[in-house]
Amino acid sequence: MSLDSIKVYHRCGGCGKKQAFINSGKFRVNANGNRVDVWLIYRCKNCKHSWNLAIYERMRPSKIKKDDYELFMENDYELALKYGNDIDFLKRNNAEFS
């Protein structure tokens, strides 16, 4: 699946150089005690190496909207697209745009 997201570049740990990364449309949710991490996974266009962009880090579960939490768990297409077009979110994760 390829989502219509902003084009981003990032130094790839697989290729060892800057590459285009593609929004995979998949979220990763990691609940650890009373803290939750949520990432949106991008993949290197060249080698498929993954790059996790943090949406929430060490967040109390009560601070995450219950509806959103379920959408993360379901890898909701619309929500992945929303983050893929959220310039502030991409910048926070040190995405490059050219």
Interaction site with Zn ion (CB under 5 A): 12, 14-15, 19, 44, 46-47, 49
Is 13 or 61 the residue whose CB approaches Zn ion more closely?
13
Q: Count H helices, E strands: the chain?
A: 3, 4
The least CB distance from residue 34 to Zn ion, in Å, is 35
Residue 56: phi, psi to the nearest 5? -130, 140
Task: Indicate the SS3 state at residue 11.
Answer: strand
Q: How far is the CB of 78 from Zn ion (least distance, A)?
A: 27
CA distances from 10 to 2, 27, 40, 82 (A): 17, 18, 14, 19
Nearer to Zn ion, 49 or 82 (CB): 49
Measured from the CB of residue 5, what is the shortest distance to Zn ion in angstroms?
18
- Please, which residue, 16 or 61, has the CB nearer to Zn ion? 16
